[in-house]
Amino acid sequence: MLGSGSSLPTAVPRLGDRALFPELEARAYLAHAAISPVSVVVQAAIVELLTDYARRGVFAFGAWAEQRFELRQSFACLLGVEPSAIALTPGTTRGISDVALAIPWRSGDRILCFRGEFPANVTPWQRVAERFGVELVWLDADAFRLDPPAALADLDRVLDGGVRLVAVSAVEFQTGFRLPLVAIGERCRTHGAFFAVDAVQACGVVPTEARAWQADFVACGAHKWLMGLEGGGLLYVRPERAEELVPATAGWLSHEHGADFLFRGAGRLRYDRPLKRGAEVFEGATLPATVFAGLGTSIRLLLELGIDAIEGHVTAYLDRLEPALVGRGFQSLRAVEAAGRSGILAVVPPAGRDPVALQRELAARGVITSVPDGLLRFAPHWPNSLAEVPEVVAAVDAALEAISRGSTDPSARARALSRL
């Protein structure tokens, strides 16, 4: 099957085994919440597509269009929804933006956003507010981690005042806290508010259940926990809400039978075909074929492993790492309750230790992390072995000692920066 990677003898994924990542330089790659490395089977799928197009040109299109149909089915399995409710997109931001412009806004409508969110789930709503005279109201995303009952009470208060849409992330990118989306979705449904979820820090590492969330829209990108490349993603549109949308962005493939004039003979070139309904309307043009070829393969690996098994593996890894860091003076922001945990362990470094300097020193020692907004973030995935944890802790010790003594190795830091 195209994009399956089945020709590779080592294409069987195993938890804690990075055999599918032979080119990965890091001793411990813990930046999956930023950008994941690409496996050999994803590379093979992309090469397979390029080879097919090089050999057959236009006649390769149909086969790879079928592969994207299979990809929608895979996305539907990840979200627990029907494939017809999925659109393939260039990423999280584009999916949210298309939805934001498709809602028929009224002057005076209110949108609830959360301070601490990644800008992909804020900027589109800011543009809506400016363009359509909509009011943005704000709550703190971190309140759900610090005081869940109070956070839900604040949400009730804002919803009681009238809100057209609530926009939130499934997992907060800074702290790794997994929000109580079922409780939020129930409140949105009770108040008749649209519910838009950015799932980029959840999909592929923890269960993502769009129906249980009662989400109207879910957007996600490919290059983090889905282990694909930048420039791909998905948008879920709940069918019951689709009829309320008036798409402001559309293209030639947004029309019913929009491509018929290319394949079915003369007299079919028309501009008056109705727009498709539901998520498909947002697939208005040709898609980045290489990105989706690779993504189809990476998601096949995730489904083969099982998201529950991946979550359990990542949890076990972080359960080992977290107490070691806390014992060295780091402040963990990880949720106490399992329901609030994700694939991210975010920590505040000990007093006087700069997180960016720590990241560089760790990278020089083969441990790759990320530092969103001044936090040090550890984010393993299914290929990370639990046996790495002692090595990571040793690298942390060495990095802390180097910084405290001012004895950082300039050449090592340069090598680290070249890898970032």
CA pair distance 72, 239, nearest whole angstrom: 15
Average pLDDT over residues 316-342: 97
- Neighbour tally for 406: CB within 10 Å: 6
Q: Per-residue pLDDT for 32 more than 60?
A: yes
Lowest mean pLDDT among 42-51, 60-69, 89-98, 308-317: 60-69
pLDDT tier for residue 4 given thresholds of 50, 70 and 90: very low
Q: Which residue has the tokens 């601490």?
A: 116
List residues bridging with 145 in a β-sheet: none
Could you tell me the pLDDT band of residue 12, with boundaries at 50, 70 and 90? confident
Please compute Rg for the chain using Cα positions. Answer: 22
Give the pLDDT score at 62: 87
- Mean pLDDT of all residues in the chain? 93
* pLDDT over 60 (residue 10): no
What does the pLDDT read at residue 66? 87
Output the pLDDT for position 286. Answer: 87
Residue with tokens 């689709």: 242
Could you tell me what percent of the chain has a pLDDT over 70? Answer: 94
Q: What is the pLDDT of residues 103-153, one digit of tens each?
A: 999 999 999 999 999 999 999 999 999 999 999 999 999 999 999 999 999
Helical ranges in 192-238 per DSSP H: 210-213
Task: Reply yes or no on domain 307-419 having CATH 3.40.50.300.
Answer: no
Q: Is the pLDDT of residue 412 over 70?
A: no
pLDDT-derived band at 408, boundaries 50, 70, 90: low
Identical topology for domains 62-301 and 307-419: no
pTM of the model: 0.92
Q: How confident is the model at residue 415 (pLDDT cuts 50, 70, 90)?
A: very low
Residue found by looking up tokens 């299109």 in the block: 61
- pLDDT > 60? residue 216: yes
* Segment among 246-250, 325-329, 408-412 with least mean pLDDT: 408-412
Rounded Cα distance, 135 and 112, in Å: 9
C-alpha 221/C-alpha 200 separation (Å) is 6
Please count the other Cβ atoms lying within 10 Å of the Cβ belonging to residue 109.
18
Q: Is 272 left (phi over 0), alpha (psi -120 to 50) or beta?
A: alpha
Q: What is the dihedral of CA 276, 282, 284, 288, to 10 degrees?
A: -140
The model's confidence at residue 91, banded by pLDDT at 50, 70 and 90, is very high
- In degrees to the nearest 10, what's the CA dihedral of 343, 344, 345, 346? -170
Q: What are phi and psi of 353, to 5 degrees?
A: -105, 115
pLDDT at 339 over 70: yes
Give me the count of residues in the chain: 420
Please give the torsion angle defined by the CA atoms of residues 393, 395, 398 and 402, in that order, rounded to the nearest 10 degrees: -130
Q: Is 273 exposed, middle or buried (0-12, 13-18, 19+ CB in 10 A)?
A: middle
Closest CA relative to residue 165, chosen from 127, 132, 133, 191: 191
> Are the C-beta atoms of 223 and 229 separated by less than 8 Å?
yes
Residue spans of the domains in the chain: they are 62-301, 307-419
- SS3 label, residue 205: coil
CA end-to-end span of the chain, whole Å? 35
Right CATH for 62-301 from 3.40.640.10, 3.10.450.50, 3.40.50.2300, 3.40.50.620: 3.40.640.10
Distance CA 308, CA 207 (A): 7
The mean-pLDDT minimum among 57-71, 99-113, 188-202 falls in: 57-71
407 pLDDT tier (thresholds 50, 70, 90)? low
